[in-house]
Chains A and B, each alone.
Chain A
């Protein structure tokens, strides 16, 4: 298990190095001066500029420039935003938790709805229930997300008035920012209206999270269905039936676990897709997350924010990917052992 963890850590470090290489080269590829792009100091006086050039070592060759850039990133200095001239690292720290919160809630919704539906479809293979679930999932997959988001706002917030349409929490509640993840902050705060704030935050997250979850959930339905059908045809399920176990026992003790193993790796892959959808949805629902911030910086040609934002988001997706790998290893004893030649 230790070897497995070290391998993942190793993979993480090298992928992050490649990502920084990409974001470093972006500063040269963007229009304008590379040193301005990388630091974001557009209003710097000549003397300040000399200072910045010195810290990024622009007088030396490209390798030293890259290592200076790496040093800045490791120290948590991502430069200044060209649009607002505030530190990007502090902006990211304020915005990223909201995106993490939203995308994780959406992922959980997608998994808890999609995977059981897929299992049901597989168990009722070639029966009406299977066909209905499959066609509904096809429909859900083909709906454009921005249209669905607007439609959800129109129905549930404007016509029915059940759920709020924008923001993370009502402005009436004053919650001190500690971790950035709203639910945790609310529980940590000592406000007398803690539980009302909690209910309000939950009402705010339902609509955007559900809109994000639609497309991944339909993918999970299909993945769960195919993997469950595969598992139900294996010889160990036949052997379990010959053992005299009931159908429920076979499904819950043997089939679900083996089917989940096949799905869980795809969850990590689908997460990248989900974050992309989340960025669009954040714009629609004015969610104060990093996706909306990134799209706004693209509009404002804020090159420093773009390349730092990409780095942070890619890092986040990769961390989730590694986490799903660990869950995979926990479920699958075959992945845990050290294999030779792999």
Chain B
């Protein structure tokens, strides 16, 4: 009986989530560049079947408002996995955090205080979270895509 109860406790919060009207999908792809015989570089995106440190990753976040009402104050938060260093994003409006999500801002406005007290400008390597705050509502049926790139540490 106890087992059954705990199972309920696990499933209940998700029931609420499923009831929400926004669908979200996160996909990771590996970016490969290959030097072609004519000297040009060919970029391909692959499933992350074979991934080793140093590989470039493309994170794709697809959202879709499946509800009948506009979704407002839409904000997307993506903590970076420890093993991934941030590289760049397609959205110039992205905000960054280098302290686990406590403080946010443009990367150029953030600093890192070292163990010796020295303060230096934050770099891509320091990013712990990225977020995007959409300045417009997502209409019913509306969808969009946000991408950012990282490197496997």
A is bound by B: no
Show the binding face of B for A, using Cβ within 8 Å: none
